[in-house]
Structure 1
Amino acid sequence: MKKHIYAQSSALAFLLAGTGVAHAQSSVTLYGIIDEGLNYISNSGGGKVISATSGVIQGSRWGMRGTEDLGGGLKAVFVLENGFDASNGKLGQGGLEFGRQAWVGLSSARLGTVTLGRQYDPRVDFVGPLVSATRWSGAFGTHPADIDNLNNSFRINNSVKYRSPSFGGFAFSALYSMGGVAGSVGRNQIYSVGGGYTYGPFVLGAAYLNAHNPNVSYFGATGTVAATTNGVPGSNLGTAPSLSGFASASTYQSITAGGGFQLGAAHIGVTYSNTAFKGLGDTTSGPNPNGFMGSTHYNNAEINGEYRVGQALLLGVAYDYMKGSSISSARGKVGGATYHQISLGADYSLSKRTDVYLMGMYQHASGTDSTGGEAHAAIYTITPSDSDHQSLVRVGIRHRF
């Protein structure tokens, strides 16, 4: 149940330079999601595991969003959103208080919206809604390591974002994050643009993001930042073997596009992304234990489908393919990794706010991954397998308020 707080706010005359008392209609909404479930994992670091985890089909969270009518069609808007782990009560996003979102801005139905703070990039706005992970398969159905951020694992700090109103079904947005490095405007900067078009049952979206020194500016915005040793920043790329060895990249670049089509009770979505790590070997960005040089990229393609049986039951299936290019290293060229991933899901609504779900995933890996060794399967957020395959089954419950 969403809680709405409505208040009539006023300002004293001396604050308005003698113009009298002004009145503005305000609203604040408290909202949240609690997601919890049990998992069976076939191979997690070499053994079978049964575990309880939170925030899979959607991240567990609570937040506040608000608006204030400033008159003339202009509104002040804000969002503060906290992520947490329902299994143990800990804060998510590396312990940040409002690690999911924290921004404030101005919005006009005619001119668009400008916001400042910790925000999602345009890939999340326009292409993210087309992947299975944001629709029904959650974190476990995410592309390996969420390498293209289509399941919004990575937020952008210190950012200014503009989103246009809709022009006959078309909208666009642009984001810029300041690096904050004295004497070097470009260092640690991030910029992104994207757009989308909706026409009846058709949806199209595309976006581009470029991050300088991504180990610090992009992957280092998670809340847990690795220490610098002998002038070299520690790796913030986590343990996912598909990308953990690329901390020395001077640039991270992501191009994404997708489309969706609703046909009665069925929906089909397709997405494509090209993610590049350029300038490998720049130790001012991060460590380079494998001696990688030059650039590498991953192509990712997903097709997903879902079908609603009556009002309560949703069934889903998805296939994701990711292929990496070869990498130059101190020992010569090594082959890029290939990942195949299949996701199945069923979600049953007990009410408008509560549902139970069952999902299963399987991933197979081959080639050479970012660790410089034989690729191991690693379903997102799960400890990597010690072999080339990994599977899991999860049963969970989600409540929205």
Structure 2
Amino acid sequence: MIRTLLAALVGGLYVSSSYAQSNITLYGLIDVSINYVSNQREGGTNSPGHSNWSMASGDLNTSRWGLRGREDLGGGSSAVFTLENGFSVINGKFSNGGDEFGRQAHVGLQSTTYGSITLGRQYDIILDFVTPLGASGPGWGGNLGVHPYDNDDSNTNLRINNSVKYKSPIYRGLTFGAMYGFSNTPGQFANNRAYSAGVAYANGPLSVGAAYLQIDRSADVANPQGAVSTSDGDAQITGGPQRIWALGGRYIFGPASAGLVWAHSVTDAVTGVAQGGSITPLKGDNLTFDNFSVDVHYFVTPAFSVAAAYTYTAGRFSTATETTRPKWNQLVLQTDYQFNKRTDIYLEGAYQSVSGGNGNPAFNASIHTLTPSSNSKQAVVAAGLRHRF
């Protein structure tokens, strides 16, 4: 009897293992670098600045591991899921406020004829259709290329909880998508809900995309169970309703490609902005940004590439008594060498200059989640190693 049970158990494990190997993919990315950063604050918002050498995790891409699964249901349909965890290489801690699968967690159905529908915690349509066309976030520039406070969803910071997303199949290069994130709280149906929609087209060397995201929320009544979290780094700008329009394009010519992205974002009853990995208070009636970004990426050889991006951001911050018009100029330069498809080394520099902030420390220069500058300028140079598996 014991031998029979052991044989059945071993057989069951073998079947489960074979099933996992044929239907589930384990994947991940590890990104670590040595950084030089200028003018970092020593303490609070008004403290003096010092240059700093440090080790960092995720200057280009946040380190992560995940599982993707697909089960054939027949007739061109499949059940699919994604579970993805973010972590820090330098100390082993979870990213996303400690959420176990804080980057992605969703399940759904996919059809070659009708498209896909997924439910859970997932990226909005701007991050699907527009952001990859530029330099920041999923683009070559990564996290160091993020626009001020990620005000326009130019990075992979924002995720929508409690969401249902539909993406159409690609027809002659054209695809579209839409999603809705529930507030998930009785009596607060419209407080911290979100919806997004967009369209993309790709034909040969040309790719273009346009998308919109709206987050309905109250600046006075918190709803932590809603579509956008405020405790795990998702919300880069806090307050009342937020609206983002984005439009981008990319063209490939030989070993080079060029991208052009415009985005406009508005947040009413703003209460804070993300600086240094946390929210800095900034209370006013309205906070508006217009971002204009252009970049070029060129492969000198199949393994060695160089790239540059410039972003101009015009802001407007309004209170009951005054209006401030800060302006950001940001330059990103990169060289990258790929040992193979999985492993590369990079040297990337980012420089940001801010004017018109009227001495408000919330408008000091601030790049990614690094400690903000003590003044209006900051420079970062990162030498890193990145491995995918």
* Smaller-chain TM-score bracket: 0.7 to 0.9
Greater shift in the superposed pair: 314-323 or 180-189: 180-189
Letter matched to residue 41 of structure 1:
V
- Give the equivalent residue in structure 2 for 1:304: 295
Q: TM-score, normalised by structure 1?
A: 0.83
CA contact (8 A) 1:93 1:100 kept: yes
CA contact (8 A) 1:157 1:221 kept: no
1:206 aligns with 2:210: yes
Between the aligned partners of 2:367 and 2:198, the Cα distance in structure 1 is 28
C-alpha displacement of 1:103:
0.4
- Give the equivalent residue in structure 1 for 2:45: none
- Give the equivalent residue in structure 2 for 1:324: 315
C-alpha displacement of 1:392:
1.1
- Give the equivalent residue in structure 2 for 1:56: 59
Q: Deviations over 1:333-377 (max 9, x none)?
A: 1312111000000110112211000011110001238x9557311
Q: 1:121 aligns with which of 115, 121, 124?
A: 124
Q: Deviations over 1:57-115 (max 9, x none)?
A: 11101101010001122100000001000001000111000011000000001000000
CA contact (8 A) 2:365 2:373 kept: yes
Between the aligned partners of 1:140 and 1:179, the Cα distance in structure 2 is 31
Greater shift in the superposed pair: 250-259 or 184-193: 184-193
Q: 2:191 aligns with which of 179, 184, 187?
A: 187
SS in structure 2 at match of 1:94: helix
Between the aligned partners of 2:302 and 2:145, the Cα distance in structure 1 is 23
Q: 1:351 aligns with which of 340, 343, 366?
A: 340
1:131 aligns with 2:134: yes
Between the aligned partners of 2:227 and 2:53, the Cα distance in structure 1 is 32
CA shift in 2, pair 1:163/1:214, >3 Å: farther
Between the aligned partners of 1:322 and 1:59, the Cα distance in structure 2 is 24
Q: 1:37 aligns with which of 33, 39, 51?
A: 33
Q: 2:379 aligns with which of 384, 387, 391?
A: 391
CA shift in 2, pair 1:33/1:288, >3 Å: closer
C-alpha displacement of 1:184:
3.1
> 1:164-175 to 2 correspondence within 5 Å?
164-175=168-179
Task: Using the aligned pairs only, state the percent identity.
Answer: 40
1:292 aligns with 2:284: yes
Q: Deviations over 1:28-60 (max 9, x none)?
A: 000110110100001111111101011121110
What number of residue pairs does the alignment pair up?
Answer: 355
- Give the equivalent residue in structure 1 for 2:229: 220
Q: Which runs of 5+ in 1 are unaligned?
A: 10-24, 225-235, 282-286
C-alpha displacement of 1:135:
2.3
Greater shift in the superposed pair: 66-75 or 181-190: 181-190
Letter matched to residue 143 of structure 1:
H
CA shift in 2, pair 1:375/1:250, >3 Å: closer
- Give the equivalent residue in structure 2 for 1:69: 72
- Give the equivalent residue in structure 2 for 1:232: none
CA contact (8 A) 2:151 2:265 kept: yes
Between the aligned partners of 1:390 and 1:222, the Cα distance in structure 2 is 27
SS in structure 1 at match of 2:127: helix
C-alpha displacement of 1:219:
5.2
Between the aligned partners of 1:374 and 1:191, the Cα distance in structure 2 is 28
CA shift in 2, pair 1:165/1:344, >3 Å: same
- Give the equivalent residue in structure 2 for 1:83: 86
CA shift in 2, pair 1:221/1:107, >3 Å: farther
SS in structure 2 at match of 1:325: strand
CA contact (8 A) 2:281 2:362 kept: no
Between the aligned partners of 1:153 and 1:37, the Cα distance in structure 2 is 20
Q: 2:350 aligns with which of 346, 361, 376?
A: 361
Between the aligned partners of 1:308 and 1:384, the Cα distance in structure 2 is 33
SS in structure 2 at match of 1:135: coil
Greater shift in the superposed pair: 299-308 or 317-326: 317-326
- Give the equivalent residue in structure 1 for 2:248: 258
- Give the equivalent residue in structure 2 for 1:335: 324
Between the aligned partners of 1:39 and 1:208, the Cα distance in structure 2 is 35
- Give the equivalent residue in structure 2 for 1:147: 151
C-alpha displacement of 1:250:
2.1
Between the aligned partners of 1:368 and 1:292, the Cα distance in structure 2 is 14
CA contact (8 A) 1:35 1:398 kept: yes
Q: Which runs of 5+ in 2 are unaligned?
A: 1-15, 42-48, 272-278
CA contact (8 A) 2:183 2:227 kept: no
SS in structure 2 at match of 1:129: helix
Between the aligned partners of 2:33 and 2:283, the Cα distance in structure 1 is 41
Q: TM-score, normalised by structure 2?
A: 0.86
Between the aligned partners of 1:85 and 1:8, the Cα distance in structure 2 is 31
Greater shift in the superposed pair: 131-140 or 261-270: 131-140
* Deviation >4 Å, runs of 4+: 5-9, 214-219, 287-291, 371-374
- Give the equivalent residue in structure 2 for 1:275: 265
Q: Deviations over 1:113-140 (max 9, x none)?
A: 0000000000000111112122222111
SS in structure 2 at match of 1:59: coil
